[in-house]
Amino acid sequence: MSRPGTGALGEFVARAQQAGRLVVQPRMGVSDAAEMRAGLQLTKAAAATTVGTITLDSYTRVGDHDSASAALAAGIDLNGYPIVAHDVATTRGVLDGVAGPGFPVQVRHGSPLPAAIISSLTAAGLHATEGGPVSYCLPYSRVPLSESIPNWALSCELLTQIRETGVEPHLETFGGCTMGQLCPPGLLVALSVLECMFFRQHGLRSVSLSYAQQTDPDQDAEAILAMRRLAAQWLPDVEWHVVVYTYMGVYPRTPEGATRLLEAATRLAVRTASARLIVKTVAEGYRIPTFAENVAALETAAAAAASCTRIIGAAEDTGIHAEASALIDAVVNLHADLGTALGIAFRRGYLDVPYCLHPDNAGRARSYLDDDGRLQWSSVGSMPIRASVRRTGTTELTAMGLLATLSYIERKFDSAGLEQEYRAIPDDLTGRTTGSNR
């Protein structure tokens, strides 16, 4: 692992977890370097155990660095930090005296072709980022998997070069957040584990597995515990931890509803011994949050975590582990090279993300919310999980049904009458807008 004092993200999170503290993290990024530095300083000063975030702009995500540079030259604000367009000295200035052993900073971007981004962040002294060859390709682009997968392999190898400086690089999969919503947990778990296995195959030794809060807290707890079991099985020689994302779909519009949802995500993280939580703010339902709103969310989550009790292991088995395990087994048996295997798996429909319109996705899988508010499969397409899925339905969503499903969490948490329902779940568990709210 990394030498003491290097500020490696994996090392920092492991120390926090050993001390019983949940690490909380915002998603923020602005194009102005001085303001980006101010946002990191505010995050660091929050009354919480925090990791900093530099979220990149849309031009940089799609590789249009000329447009990002032109916007900087014209003084036009972007919806994130253009790390490739900014020179290395500028980014080092953003980090100087802020990032370090007590405050790692992670770059979040959304690019299916991130090699230039990885080169820029490593040149600036950063060593933590996130994404994946599938999870940053299918939802956000039309880039073929045949281009994304080798570019991500190269990017992993670029990250491993940081090890020569004494720092252990860290890569977080976005696999457990694929599409953000309406993806049943078994597939999310499998994608998260598979992408971390891909990272490991390309030299990474410190990774994190993601999972986005979905529609039912007990189903989510089961999914995360299944992911922990599978990570222990498939990543035995890798340092890993779990990061929970606060719900990524249509967000409650009231401050009360948004706060209840964040607190529920915090309880989920603590309940499942997850190490890190990506927060959302009270402004999430209608605009990009300010730095101050992000800090308030960090402190709300930290306070909620302090009142929870860790009770890992208490989750009903409804078959999520078996489903995810069947998907992983099917993929790894396709080819010894995991990148090749992932490409074959999507071509054959062994992996199929519901409602994802990417040309490389088979598009035969469908899901729905059952009467208990749990995500279920209505069609598994060609995925090899028929024997593992304990419960399927015949519900085919209409356009109106899809809209109602997408707004389910918004309505649920904005309804005052549900406040007691979610509080009854056992406690087992600066004025400037901050760029993209992906």
Q: Mind spelling out the 3-state secondary structure of 145-169? A: HHHHHHHHHHHHHHHHHHHHHCCCC
Domains in the chain: boundaries: 1-438
Show pLDDT as tens, one digit a residue, over the chain (438 residues).
333 334 699 999 999 999 999 999 999 999 999 999 999 999 999 999 999 999 999 999 999 999 999 999 999 999 999 999 999 999 999 999 999 999 999 999 999 999 999 999 999 999 999 999 999 999 889 999 999 999 999 999 999 999 999 999 999 999 999 987 889 999 999 999 999 999 999 999 999 999 999 999 999 999 999 999 999 999 999 999 999 999 999 899 999 999 999 999 999 999 999 999 999 999 988 888 999 999 999 999 999 999 987 666 656 889 999 999 999 999 999 999 999 999 999 999 999 999 999 999 999 999 999 989 999 999 999 999 998 886 655 566 777 878 888 888 898 998 854 444 444 344 333 344 455 444
Distance CA 196, CA 231 (A): 9
Q: What is the pLDDT of residue 357?
A: 93
Q: What is the pLDDT of residue 400?
A: 81
Cβ atoms of 214 and 165 closer than 8 Å: no
Dig out the tokens for 369 from the structure: 């919310």
Q: How far is CA 266 from each of CA 99, 179, 250, 301, 308, rounded to the nearest angstrom?
A: 25, 21, 18, 6, 9
Helix, strand, or coil (residue 57): coil
Cβ atoms of 234 and 194 closer than 8 Å: no
Nearest alpha-carbon partner for 240 in 208, 272, 267, 268: 208
Nearest alpha-carbon partner for 342 in 360, 359, 324: 360
- pLDDT digit string (tens) for 7-24? 699 999 999 999 999 999
User: Would you report the helix, strand and coil content of the chain in percent, each value rounded to 5?
Assistant: 45, 10, 45
- pLDDT digit string (tens) for 106-119? 999 999 999 999 99
Interior angle at CA 277, CA 60 and CA 152, nearest 5: 35
Please give the share of the chain, as a percent, with pLDDT higher than 70: 90
Question: What is the model's pTM?
Answer: 0.93
Q: Which CATH number fits domain 1-438: 3.20.20.240, 3.40.50.2300, 3.30.450.20, 3.90.1150.10?
A: 3.20.20.240
Nearest alpha-carbon partner for 190 in 352, 391, 367, 335: 352
- pLDDT digit string (tens) for 158-215? 999 999 999 999 999 999 999 878 899 999 999 999 999 999 999 999 999 999 999 9
